[in-house]
């Protein structure tokens, strides 16, 4: 009976109910968006590392994140190869270059990765298959996941890049996340030729593959002892954690969207409270009458709580569908790496219930003071 009364109260005026549900749905959608973009910052931290085949990364003591990583001596690679437990050690060069887009003739930033074509550190099969072709100076592989302003980059296209020109000889799919609007892979020789100030003997990192992945921790200790203070060995998980910490806790976008989750939650709680407070005000006589005819306080309170749950549950459905659509739009139009997951949907649903509980608790204060004698005396 309580649920039926709550349903009738909610749907008593259809247009008002629609507007109220729309307000709740928008608030929940705001939480979906903030959480989604916050998670995209975490995904951006991992996207490049997911394409690389390594167990240990030898990086500079000045390493902050991939686009600000410093350099290490290439001789560390040769020394690492002689250490027991190391299966391979491969150089990786990282830098930001300016690419002249063909459509508007503007120079835009490109996250650029340089590799030894005969010794590629990538696990991405598309890059592995085409790596040998990069042996020709001035050639590059272009990521399909580029933002629209970079224009078409078909095979055979040539354009200004860094301090020279490049020719695109193939494509792969990866995505640079929030680092830049796109990324490219070139040979180490092309990298040092087109990015001023970069030297072949100073790669960004050395990617080490262990003979036994289970012994990675011991290998890290051995590398730390043998290579000295100029090189810092990180396990795969450790360097991803460093990258994630930068994007989530240091880079403004991570901090901004973490705060956005809190703001979205508070907006939702306030919106739902205002809706429930208005419902209580509009039906205060009915609620008081329920008290007068013998309904317990718990029964009367239950009506308000049920109304709050109805608004929250009905509003969650369009918010979820809207979140799925907006996530897809962000992926396809802005290359933001965000997907709707069951875990995120469950988290937002739980936050919606908490939001409902807070709003109902505040709205019930008005019901507690509803005295039938004052209303009908």
Which tokens sit at 23?
């307000």
Could you report the per-residue pLDDT of 142-157, keeping only the tens digit for each? 998 877 777 777 888 8
Buried b (16+ CB within 10 A) or exposed e, 52-86: bebbbbbbbeebebbbebebbbeebbebbeeeebb
Q: Binning pLDDT at 50, 70 and 90, where does residue 375 land?
A: low
* Bridge partners of residue 167, in order along the sequence: 139, 158
Contact 260, 38 (CB under 8 A): yes
Residue 200: phi and psi, rounded to 5, are -65, -25
C-alpha distances in Å from residue 227, one per residue of 3, 79, 202, 351, 361: 70, 8, 15, 49, 61
Nearest to 271 by CA among 20, 29, 15, 34: 20
- Give yes or no for residue 285 having a pLDDT over 80: no
Contact 215, 85 (CB under 8 A): yes
Q: What is the pLDDT of residue 234?
A: 95
The whole-angstrom separation of Cα 36 and Cα 338 is 6
The whole-angstrom separation of Cα 201 and Cα 361 is 65
Q: What is the pLDDT of residue 135?
A: 94
* Bridge partners of residue 234, in order along the sequence: 57
Nearest to 29 by CA among 332, 370, 321, 350: 321
Question: Exposure of 289 by Cβ count < 10 A (0-12 exposed, 13-18 middle, 19+ buried)?
Answer: middle
Q: What is the pLDDT of residue 369?
A: 61
Residue 123 makes CB contacts below 8 A (sequence gap 6+) with: 51, 52, 53
pTM above 0.85, yes or no: no
Nearest to 187 by CA among 122, 117, 129: 117
The whole-angstrom separation of Cα 3 and Cα 11 is 12
| Torsion angle defined by CA atoms of residues 66, 68, 74 and 78, in that order, rounded to the nearest 10 degrees | -40
Continuous segment of H or E residues that includes residue 310: helix 297-334
Report, as an integer, the average pLDDT of 205-214.
Answer: 92
- The DSSP code for 132 is G
Planar angle of CA 128, 90, 182, nearest 5 degrees: 55
Q: Binning pLDDT at 50, 70 and 90, where does residue 300 land?
A: low
Residue with tokens 């307000």: 23
Q: What is the pLDDT of residue 67?
A: 83
Could you report the per-residue pLDDT of 323-361, keeping only the tens digit for each? 999 998 887 777 777 889 999 999 999 989 988 888 888
- The DSSP code for 126 is H
Residue with tokens 């409270």: 273
């Amino acid at each position: 009976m309580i649920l039926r009364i709550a349903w009738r109260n909610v749907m008593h005026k259809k247009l008002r109910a629609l507007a109220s549900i729309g307000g709740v749905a928008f608030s929940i959608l705001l939480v979906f968006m903030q959480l989604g973009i916050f998670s995209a910052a975490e995904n951006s931290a991992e996207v490049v590392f997911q394409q690389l085949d390594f167990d240990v990364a030898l990086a500079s003591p000045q390493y902050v994140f991939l686009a600000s990583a410093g350099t290490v001596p290439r001789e560390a690679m040769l020394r690492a190869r002689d250490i027991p437990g190391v299966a391979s050690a491969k150089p990786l060069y990282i830098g930001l270059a300016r690419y002249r887009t063909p459509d508007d003739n503007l120079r835009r930033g490109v996250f650029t990765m340089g590799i030894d074509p005969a010794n590629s550190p990538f696990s991405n099969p598309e890059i592995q298959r085409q790596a040998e072709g990069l042996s020709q100076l001035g050639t590059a592989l272009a990521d399909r996941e580029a933002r629209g302003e970079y224009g078409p980059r078909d095979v055979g296209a040539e354009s200004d890049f860094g301090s020279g020109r490049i020719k695109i000889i193939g494509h792969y799919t990866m995505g640079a996340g929030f680092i830049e609007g796109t990324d490219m892979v070139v040979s180490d020789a092309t990298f040092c030729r087109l990015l001023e100030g970069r030297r072949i003997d100073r790669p960004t990192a050395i990617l080490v593959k262990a003979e036994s992945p289970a012994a990675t921790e011991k290998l890290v200790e051995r590398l730390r002892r043998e290579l000295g203070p100029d090189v810092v060995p990180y396990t795969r998980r450790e360097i991803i954690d460093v990258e994630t910490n930068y994007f989530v806790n240091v880079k403004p976008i991570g901090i901004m969207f973490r705060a956005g989750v809190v703001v979205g939650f508070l907006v939702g709680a306030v919106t739902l409270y205002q809706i429930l407070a208005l419902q209580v005000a509009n039906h205060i006589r009915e609620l008081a009458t329920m008290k007068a005819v013998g309904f317990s306080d718990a029964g009367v309170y239950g009506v308000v709580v049920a109304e709050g749950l109805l608004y929250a549950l009905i509003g969650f459905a369009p918010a979820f569908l809207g979140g799925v659509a907006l996530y897809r739009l962000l992926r396809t139009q802005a290359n933001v790496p965000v997907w709707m997951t069951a875990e995120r949907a469950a988290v937002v649903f739980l936050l919606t219930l908490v939001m409902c509980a807070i709003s109902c608790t505040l709205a019930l204060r008005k019901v507690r003071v509803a005295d039938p004698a004052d209303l009908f005396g």
